[in-house]
Structure 1
Amino acid sequence: MTMPVPASLGFRMPAEWSPHSRCWMAWPVRAETFPNGLAAARLAYAEVAKAIAQFEPVTMLCPESEVAEVSLSCGKGVEVMPLTLSDSWLRDNGPTFLVNDAGQQAGVHWGFNAWGRNYEDFQPDTEVAARILDRLGLPRFVAPLVMEGGSFHVDGEGTLLTTQECLLNPNRNPGLSKAEIEGHLRDFLGVREILWLERGYEQDETDGHIDEIACFVRPGVVLALTTDDTADPNYPVFRENIERLKASKDAAGRTLEVVTIRTPARKEQSGIRLTLSYINFYLANGGVVMPAFEDPEDVEAFRLFRRLFPDRDVVQVPALDIVRGGGGIHCITQQQPA
């Protein structure tokens, strides 16, 4: 007997600006992920957790042996849950939470293979979604799809945004066609319209996650990354993304309004470009936690966020030590709906 899919039971993924009951995070444990060391990464994660905890409860997953350190580092408002981990990007290996019109919640447990087997000791991370949903006592829908939460973004009204570079990459789901992947996205996230961008950020080790380049900020409005530097390899990619978005219609038939935000100046680590992006932020209840990169663009980005989210407090936190590990603030967080 086949299990019914979430959409057939009325479940859908709500927009990130919908009310949350809490935010889930995972403590950095994998030293080789963070070239500046675990201490710097942990300090950066703790700053993000404390910023979010001003607005909503936070639960930080960590190994049993780290509970005392995490409690001291993160302080009040951050609950600590012991769990075996191999990495700390909860957006990508945690559950995607769903709701229905009756107010019930459930979660999607995606397949996880460490971003196309970027490393091999990822087995503990394949169980994180199940452990969270079991702890919450929520129904768990196991999707026949290797997916990371940072690879898609929804408007909560039936539209999903993603990239072909990531979802159609042969290192994820080589046996599935684009149409089959679209079918699974509709079944498990309750979306109707899927908007495909071609490529993501240059040298993004996640193979083009959408949460580095574009996101919905409210229904019908997308925030997209751009650059004025015509010599930047991202320049033609971002221009094409913006043109595609402007030519797109969402599930409600609206032509999208596209707001652009400039990328900070290029920074490298061991010859690899860092994916510095203001798109990689977290929407909390009544707040926005956004990154700062020690770059002059930080000020203009903060001003733009104040304009985009006039009813929320905007908090900017240092994010370079997170980005050096390969992701950003959105990548290390996962919202649970209210």
Structure 2
Amino acid sequence: MKIDPKYFFKNISDKDPLRPADLGYFFPAEFHPHGATWLSWPHKEASWPGKIQLIYPAYAKFVAYLAKSERVNILVTDQNMQRFAEDHLDRAGVPMDRILFHHFPTNDAWCRDHGPAFLIPSNPGMSKAIVDWGYNAWGDKYPPYDLDNLIPEKVALHLGLPCFRPGIIMEGGSVDFNGKGAVITTEACLLNPNRNPHLSKEEIETYLKDYYGLNQIFWLKDGIVGDDTDGHVDDITRFVSENKVLTVVESNKKDENYAVLQDNLKLLKSFRLLDGRSLEIVELPMPSPVIYEDTRLPASYANFYIANKHVIVPTYRDKNDEKALDILSGCFPEREVVGVDSWDLIWGLGSFHCLSQQEPAYL
């Protein structure tokens, strides 16, 4: 079945039965092989006030690990920003033949949330596709975001891919997939009235199933302290295989995160996949609180990114860094787990997973 890509650049009405799931499309797990990673070059000083110049060495090191095993697409505003990026990447030893720059201006760097959500088809003979969710900077917290909201459509047009437009707000960091029909998310984020106040929980579940090709949604409660996204799941719980999750826990009972993370842990233990299996749960420690200018930042080892040959993990100059890396290494025996200092990056309230969006390979 061949689909005219132009069809999908209009809003699809509620009465139109054609949805990605109807055509056999689904969102694969992050550990599915990648064709590329997409990034938006950081340039908004207000996201790292007083620190933006300090983040580039760690960011370039992140790109260097990505480029070892996959193409890296980087969105920049213009030629000047491209030259600035090339200078930093060159200093980090990044092989520039693995990097493709696109002059697609953005408001900010958080490509996980404003970037293209790639689907792959279960039916042979069809191309990949993109879901163009709406984006409002986590409940209109950080306007303007008009340029960011255009990125999925621009990428779809550039690649010549079909583009589905559900017409609701959804962010990539709010969902994590096992690639076999299940997703984990949080009520604090997806049910927040600053996203889609006109939709019920059941209606949001329908959108998730129809546009991500899902059949099962696991709801956790809240996220960690300092997370300005209202509880993105990529700071707390991540699938590492079809039935195994890593979830962060706090050992200090007096810490603000302790009760929240224990509640989520209890929920995870109660979940069952459709075949009746319980989830295999691996607990990941939290780092000690990272505080800058009297602000507690959302530092978490769960904000790692799974590339083709590496798992890139944010570290925080903390006693738990090595423990977290060891635990992650046990979960990814076929990949090299590497820590990259995120002490300055986390001042932007996100790390490597928040900054990136995978493009799956179409096998």
Specify the TM-score bucket, using the shorter chain as the normaliser: over 0.9
**Conservation of the 8 A alpha-carbon contact between 1:249 and 1:255:** yes
Is 2:247 aligned against 1:233? Answer: no
Aligned position for 1:95: 116
3-state secondary structure, aligned to 1:320: coil
Rounded to whole Å, the distance in 1 between the matches of 2:206 and 2:242 is 23
CA deviation profile, 1:227-260 (whole Å, cap 9, x unmatched):
1100011101111101100110124432111100
- After superposing the two structures, state which structure 1 stretch, 98-107 or 82-91, moved more: 98-107
1:5 aligned partner: 19
Aligned to 1:314: 337
CA contact (8 A) 2:272 2:278 kept: yes
Alignment of 1:26-175 (within 5 A): 26-64=40-78, 65-74=80-89, 75=94, 76=96, 77-101=98-122, 102=124, 104-175=127-198
| Separation in structure 2 between the aligned mates of residue 53 and residue 292 of structure 1, nearest angstrom | 20
Task: Report the CA distance shift for 1:298/1:250 in structure 2 as closer, same or farther (over 3 A).
Answer: same
Moved more, 86-95 or 71-80: 71-80
The secondary structure found in structure 1 opposite 2:348 is coil
Deviates more, 1:166-175 or 1:115-124: 115-124
Count of residues paired in the alignment: 338
* DSSP-derived class of the 1:87 partner: coil
Q: 1:268: Cα distance to partner?
A: 1.4
Unaligned runs of 5+ in 1: none
For residues 90 and 251 of structure 1, the distance between their equivalents in structure 2, rounded to whole angstroms, comes to 32
> C-alpha distance in 2, partners of 1:130/1:235?
40
Residue in structure 2 matched with residue 18 of structure 1 by the alignment: 32
SS of structure 1 residue aligned to 2:327: helix
| Cα pair 2:298 2:346 within 8 Å, conserved | yes
Q: Answer whether contact 1:36 1:321 (CA < 8 A) is retained.
A: no
Cross-structure match for 2:323:
300
Shift of residue 38, structure 1, vs aligned partner: 2.2
Cα deviation, residue 3, structure 1: 6.6
Deviation at 1:46, TM superposition (A): 1.5
Higher strand fraction (1 or 2): 1
| Equivalence for 2:277 | 254
- Give the letter aligned to residue 239 of structure 1: Q
Query: With structure 1 as the length reference, what TM-score do the two structures score?
Result: 0.97
The alpha-carbon deviation at position 319 of structure 1 amounts to 1.4
* Structure 2 segments unaligned to the other structure (5+ residues): 1-12
Q: What CA RMSD, in Å, does the superposition of the two structures yield over aligned residues?
A: 1.3
Q: Is the 8 A contact 1:50 1:78 kept in 2?
A: no
The answer for the alignment partner of 2:210 in structure 1 is 187
Per the alignment, in what secondary structure is the counterpart of residue 111 of structure 1?
Answer: coil
